[in-house]
């Protein structure tokens, strides 16, 4: 019997004995849920993502943790809602006390690399929230977004222009990183955050040609950044979509290059490959279907994004799930796969391994979204959390901000919690119901209640018909906000 015991344990608990997977976590910039072929978009061509959807795990209810970029990226790295660390909006950094995916996996012997958009602090070497300071062994990164021929910082050094299509450049660098990890005999974590398809848009001629019919179909004027001046410009939407979709197609092709490399190197079976967007489609490109809202809004169109996972060794059959998952779930999931303990602080994400194994179809905990109202700082003088000099960006980009072609960052030492700290558009999703709360002048709240199973487009407000459900969700949301604000004061770092 003693000889059979080890075999019995292996049979009962295979994940504990399996070799931890390599991990590649990719994210598009402003890539909304509907902008894929597999979700039925009428124009955009994404053959690689479509193939991943056919052969892997398709997460049809995958959410960015926030309807804008920097906050979602903070959640992706830490498993925590961005408001816990003061990453309130684009251009707000996170804090050096945060524990990231790279910190967790490095303890398990992984080689960790970051490639592309960072946008949770400055990427220069001396920054206390650079990729290197936050656990990555190497990085080729940008403070914000980038176009063709991007200017990137390698391991925190001065920015260098790399000629070519930006998604292809990032994947080439990722493949080189994988080779170095292989040479050292290490498993790897590669986080690849594309600059596409964030505006201003630009594409290769062959990719643009795929969408030559769009300018005639969409003529309404939209505002975006000019590649020529870096300022705002108004252009016909069809021209804008032609360039945006060219970027998505180029990004899709680069992902295909990575998948082919994994296959030829014998790495595909035991590499977890993940893709998502960082928020919903931007307003200049949103076509108004099938969800309500767009980037910057807490309706489904602002937070639902593509979600795909491939891992042939564990996900052996193609599958689609309606489990509501989030970017906050990534850290708990990869920590479990690597056999590492979770950080000893409040997390908002959950371990998705039961979803990978088709053992969970509904989320047991609520999902929360909250755009903190930074107007609460008006008339106050809170202290910066980090030296402002260390928060200055170095990598240039097209879009000007205050006549500056780089991005600087901000984070604040939070004052005593006040009623104003609870404000800002916010939602809770629990089971089939979603409560949306907007603040109005004079302290009046606008509440909307939706049944997402019956009404995923959020067209029918049920708050008046089901006040008890709305009140229960509001109470849960307020309790969660209490926890977030305790974190925001720095309480988690003093444990």
Annotated active-site positions, please? 69, 119
| Peptide bond preceding 74 in cis form (omega within 30 of 0) | no
Q: How many CB atoms lie within 10 A of CB 374?
A: 15
Residues 6+ apart with CB under 8 A from 33: 39, 62, 277, 280, 281, 291, 300, 301, 304, 305, 306
Q: How far apart are the C-alpha atoms of 301 and 32, rounded to whole Å?
A: 8
Q: How many CB atoms lie within 10 A of CB 373?
A: 17
CB 174 within 8 A of CB 258: yes
Q: How far apart are the C-alpha atoms of 315 and 445, rounded to whole Å?
A: 44
| Helix or strand (DSSP H, E) at 176 | helix 166-183
Question: Nearest Cα to 252, choosing from 26, 54, 33, 57?
Answer: 26
Q: How many angstroms separate the Cα of 306 from the Cα of each of 30, 59, 216? A: 11, 7, 28
User: Can you tell me whether residue 468 is helix, strand or coil?
Assistant: helix
């Amino acid at each position: 019997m003693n000889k059979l015991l080890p075999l019995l344990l292996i049979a009962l608990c295979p994940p504990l004995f399996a070799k931890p997977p390599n991990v590649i976590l990719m994210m598009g910039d402003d890539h909304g849920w509907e902008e894929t072929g597999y979700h039925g978009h009428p124009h955009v061509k994404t053959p690689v993502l479509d193939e991943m959807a056919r052969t892997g795990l398709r997460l049809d209810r995958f959410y960015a943790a926030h309807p804008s970029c920097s906050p979602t990226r903070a959640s992706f790295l830490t498993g925590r809602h961005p408001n816990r660390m003061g990453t309130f909006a684009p251009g707000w950094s996170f804090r050096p006390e945060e524990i990231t995916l790279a910190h967790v996996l490095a303890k398990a012997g992984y080689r960790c690399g970051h490639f592309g958009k960072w946008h949770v602090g400055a990427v220069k070497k001396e920054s206390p929230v650079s990729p290197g300071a936050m656990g990555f062994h190497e990085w080729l990164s940008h403070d914000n977004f980038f176009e063709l021929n991007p200017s990137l910082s390698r391991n925190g050094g001065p920015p260098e222009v790399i000629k070519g299509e930006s998604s292809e450049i990032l994947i080439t660098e990722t493949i080189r990183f994988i080779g170095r990890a292989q040479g050292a005999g290490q498993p790897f974590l590669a986080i690849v955050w594309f600059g596409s398809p964030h505006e201003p848009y630009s594409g290769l001629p062959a990719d643009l040609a795929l969408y030559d019919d769009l300018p005639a179909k969409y003529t309404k004027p939209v505002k975006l950044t000019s590649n020529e001046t870096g300022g705002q410009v108004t252009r016909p939407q069809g021209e804008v979509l032609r360039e945006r979709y060219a970027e998505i197609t180029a990004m899709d092709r680069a992902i295909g290059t990575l998948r082919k490399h994994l296959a030829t190197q014998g790495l595909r079976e035991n590499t977890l490959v993940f893709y998502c967007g960082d928020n919903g489609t931007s307003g200049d490109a949103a076509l108004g279907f099938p969800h309500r809202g767009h980037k910057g809004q807490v309706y489904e169109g602002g937070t639902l994004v593509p979600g795909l996972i491939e891992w042939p060794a564990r996900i052996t059959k193609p599958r689609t799930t309606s489990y509501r998952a989030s970017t906050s779930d990534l850290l708990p999931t990869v920590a479990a796969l690597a056999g590492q303990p979770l950080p000893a602080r409040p997390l908002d994400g959950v371990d998705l391994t039961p979803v990978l194994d088709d053992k969970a179809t509904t989320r047991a905990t609520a999902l929360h979204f909250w755009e903190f109202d930074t107007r609460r700082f008006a008339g106050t003088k809170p202290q910066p959390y980090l030296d402002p000099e260390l928060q200055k960006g170095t990598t240039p980009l097209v879009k000007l901000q205050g006549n500056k072609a780089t991005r600087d960052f901000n984070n604040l030492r939070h004052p005593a919690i006040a009623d104003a700290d609870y404000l800002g558009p916010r939602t809770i999703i629990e089971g089939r119901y979603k409560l949306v709360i907007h603040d109005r002048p004079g302290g009046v709240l606008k509440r909307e209640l939706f049944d997402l199973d019956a009404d995923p487009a959020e067209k029918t407000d049920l708050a008046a018909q089901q006040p008890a459900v709305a009140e229960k969700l509001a109470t849960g949301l307020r309790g969660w906000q209490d926890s977030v604000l305790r974190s925001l004061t720095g309480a988690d770092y003093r444990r």
